[in-house]
Amino acid sequence: MCGARVLGRDGELGSLEAGKLADIALWRLDTLPHVDIFDPLAALVLGAPPPLELLLIQGLPVVERGRLVTVDESQVTAAAAANHKLLKRAGVKR
């Protein structure tokens, strides 16, 4: 909150309140790879990458239960595959 105040934006940032902008990420730490790590911060930093349960950007869901909800993943995957084929035909190497 102090950072938002210093920036003169404490009316829109710095705390979780209705009407304020919010970017929030929630990871699941109750999965098998994290069962023996009791410190949540250590689990995030030192453990296996945990599944992303929820990601909100400006209060709107972007990821829910590990799935991207703002675009159709199958369409993005198909477009990326088509682009890869075109680049390969053109002789572009990555």
Q: Whole-model pTM above 0.75?
A: no
Q: What's the topology of domain 20-89?
A: Urease, subunit C; domain 1 (2.30.40)
Q: What is the pLDDT of residues 68-89, one digit of tens each?
A: 999 988 898 999 999 988 888 8
Contact at 8 Å (CB) between 10 and 1?
Answer: yes
In the structure encoding, which two tokens stand for residue 88, read together? 């390969």
Within 8 A by CB and 6+ apart from 43, the residues are 29, 34, 37, 50
Q: What is the pLDDT of residues 4-61, one digit of tens each?
A: 889 999 898 888 888 888 889 999 998 888 888 889 898 888 889 999 999 999 888 9
* Residue 1 predicted with pLDDT over 70: no
Query: How high is the pLDDT of residue 79?
Result: 92
Domain boundaries, the chain: 20-89
- Single-letter residue type at 48: A
